[in-house]
Amino acid sequence: MVCAAGGWRGTAAAVSAVGCGEGKQGAPAGSRAGVGGGGGGERPPAVGDHLWTLLVVVVVASGDRQLPRQRRCQEAVQSAAVCRGASDGSAAGAELGFRKGAQRIRSEEAQHDPALPPWFASYDPGAAKSILNNGRTCRVVFDDTFDRSVLRGGPIQGAYRLRQLHFHWGSSDDHGSEHVVDGVKYAAELHMVHWNPKHGNFAPALKQRDGVAIVGVFLKVGKTLKREMKRILEEMESIKTKGKETPFLHFDPSILFPKSRDYWTYEGSFTTPPCEECVTWILLREPIVVSPDQMAKLRSLSMNTENEPFHPLVDNWRPQQPLKGRVVRASFK
Ligand SMILES: [Zn+2]
């Protein structure tokens, strides 16, 4: 859920403002076409966008001068994209923008909270609708018009509806996850996005502190692989290029969970407008295992449309943000 919808176009401004040439994740022109099924919102650029981009550039450029110039540039690009997406309130923008969710977790600093209850997912396989490539990620979309696939327990109150799941991954196995635990970057990270129906709809929920809960699952490359990933990866050929979407029915996403339900949890937050506070993270301690071949399938997607040159869809993760005093609680010792 990286990659704010409508965010990438702003990256060019960010890049040129700091004078650093082409951003690694800069998208080609015309990359804003939306995809259906809970994706792809479009909005006109607003003055606030430009101000925000400028602000990000200034902050980053004047911040840590120890950072290599190229990295500073990329961070400016990605921060701008992430926050712009959060501001538009559209399903896609918010879905991708959320907040500066990516975090470095230090397990020894996480506070064990014995009062944290276990979490439960009750998913209806019939709620699965489609799988798509929106040029930024591979996403599976679920019917969330009523409480048919819900998450309960853990740090959240009530039942949150599953809306979609998507992945973040790297160009090689040594990076790709959005969370880094004790310095370990995983090859990929799965995000299952749920929203609180008490707010009526997904877009309004995005603006509420108790609006969204995301379950994060790490994907680690190994030998005892999670065969349940097969079903999703079989569809990669059908959604090879940006804008492709195909039906994806009768799928129970709970098969993707690891055995252990141990988790870390924290409230993400943006300190700077226009970003919203809305996500409760439930990050699972135990990774699931995928094979090198499975990772290769994810990387075989293109961030471009079929009429454009193939451009591998990789490194759709955001840079890690410091916790800045936020407390990470652990459900385990
Ligand atoms: Zn995500």
pLDDT in tens, 45-60: 343 334 333 333 333 3
In the numeric block, which tokens belong to residue 113? 């909270």
Q: What angle do CA 214, 55, 213 make, to 5 degrees?
A: 10
In the numeric block, which tokens belong to residue 117? 């209850």
What is the spatial distance between Cα 105 and Cα 123, in angstroms, rounded to a whole number? 28
Banded model confidence at residue 246, pLDDT cuts 50, 70, 90: very high
Confidence (pLDDT) at 130: 98
CB 289 within 8 A of CB 224: yes
Picking from 37-46, 238-247, 267-276, which range would have the lowest pLDDT averaged per residue? 37-46
Cα distances (Å, whole numbers) of residue 5 to 35, 43, 91, 314? 11, 9, 9, 16
What is the spatial distance between Cα 167 and Cα 217, in angstroms, rounded to a whole number? 9
Tokens 């603006």 appear where? 207
Banded model confidence at residue 327, pLDDT cuts 50, 70, 90: confident
pLDDT in tens, 147-167: 999 999 999 999 999 999 999
In the numeric block, which tokens belong to residue 119? 């979490």
Query: How many Å separate Cα 143 from the centre of its chain?
Result: 19
CA of 316 to the centre of ligand 1 (A): 9
Question: What percentage of the chain has pLDDT greater than the value 90?
Answer: 56
Paired with 111 in beta bridges are: 329
CB 292 within 8 A of CB 221: yes
pLDDT in tens, 44-97: 334 333 433 333 333 333 333 333 433 333 333 333 333 223 333 333 333 344
What is the spatial distance between Cα 215 and Cα 60, in angstroms, rounded to a whole number? 29
CA of 55 to the centre of ligand 1 (A): 24
Banded model confidence at residue 308, pLDDT cuts 50, 70, 90: very high
In the numeric block, which tokens belong to residue 196? 């609180």
What is the spatial distance between Cα 56 and Cα 23, in angstroms, rounded to a whole number? 15
Give the residue, 58 or 310, on which the prediction is more confident. Answer: 310
Give the residue, 170 or 7, on which the prediction is more confident. Answer: 170
CA of 215 to the centre of ligand 1 (A): 10
Tokens 């310095």 appear where? 183
Instruction: Using only the alpha carbons of the chain, give its radius of gyration.
Output: 18
Banded model confidence at residue 317, pLDDT cuts 50, 70, 90: confident
Which residues have CB under 8 Å from 291's CB, separation 6+?
221, 222, 223, 225
CA of 106 to the centre of ligand 1 (A): 20
CATH number of this structure's domain 104-330, picked from the four choices 3.40.462.40, 3.30.1600.10, 3.10.200.10, 3.30.420.40: 3.10.200.10
Q: Does residue 45 have a cis bond before it (omega within 30 degrees)?
A: no
Cα distances (Å, whole numbers) of residue 239 to 96, 218, 226, 293? 19, 23, 21, 17
Picking from 13-22, 125-134, 197-206, which range would have the lowest pLDDT averaged per residue? 13-22
Banded model confidence at residue 278, pLDDT cuts 50, 70, 90: confident
**29 — alpha (psi -120 to 50), left (phi > 0) or beta?**
beta
Which residues have CB under 8 Å from 206's CB, separation 6+?
86, 89, 94, 98, 195, 212, 276, 278
CA of 16 to the centre of ligand 1 (A): 27
What is the spatial distance between Cα 194 and Cα 202, in angstroms, rounded to a whole number? 9
CA of 302 to the centre of ligand 1 (A): 18
CA of 19 to the centre of ligand 1 (A): 29
Domain ranges of the chain: 9-96, 104-330
Confidence (pLDDT) at 212: 92
**37 — alpha (psi -120 to 50), left (phi > 0) or beta?**
left
Confidence (pLDDT) at 322: 66
Confidence (pLDDT) at 208: 86
Confidence (pLDDT) at 320: 61
The average confidence (pLDDT) of the chain is: 74
Over range 114-139, report the average pLDDT: 97
Picking from 21-30, 188-197, 263-272, 319-328, which range would have the lowest pLDDT averaged per residue? 21-30
Task: Indicate whether 116 pLDDT > 70.
Answer: yes
